Amino acid sequence: MTRTPAEALAELGVELPEVKLDPFYINYRESGSGQIHISGQMPYVNGELPAVGTVGADIDVETARQSMRIATINALAVGAHAVGGLDKLRIVQMLVFVASAPDFGGQSNVADAGSELLVEVLGEHGRHARTAIGVAALPRTSPVEVQMIVEALT
Map residue 8 onto helix, strand or coil.
helix
Helices (DSSP H) in 1-58: which residue ranges? 5-12
| CA atoms in the 13 A half-sphere facing the CB of 44 | 15
29-33, 107-111, 135-139: least confident range: 29-33
Confidence (pTM): 0.96
Residue closest to 97 by CA, chosen among 133, 149, 131: 133
Answer whether residue 118 shows pLDDT above 80.
Answer: yes
Percentage, residues of the chain above pLDDT 70:
99
- Using the predicted structure, report yes or no on whether residue 4 has a pLDDT greater than 70: yes
Averaged over 89-116, what is the pLDDT?
A: 98
Which CATH superfamily includes the segment(s) 5-12+27-152?
RutC-like (3.30.1330.40)
81, 27 contact by CB (below 8 A)? yes
pLDDT band with cut points at 50, 70 and 90 for residue 150: very high
| 89-99 and 129-135 beta bridge pairing | parallel
> What pLDDT, on the 0 to 100 scale, is given for residue 2?
83
User: What residue spans define the domains of the chain?
Assistant: 5-12+27-152
What integer pLDDT is reported at residue 80 of this predicted model?
97
- pLDDT at 33 (0 to 100): 84
Of the pLDDT bands very low, low, confident and very high (cuts 50, 70, 90), residue 34 is confident
Q: What is the pLDDT of residues 36-55, one digit of tens each?
A: 999 999 999 999 999 999 99
Query: What is the pLDDT, as a whole number, of residue 1?
Result: 53
- Tell me what percent of the residues of the chain surpass a pLDDT of 90: 92
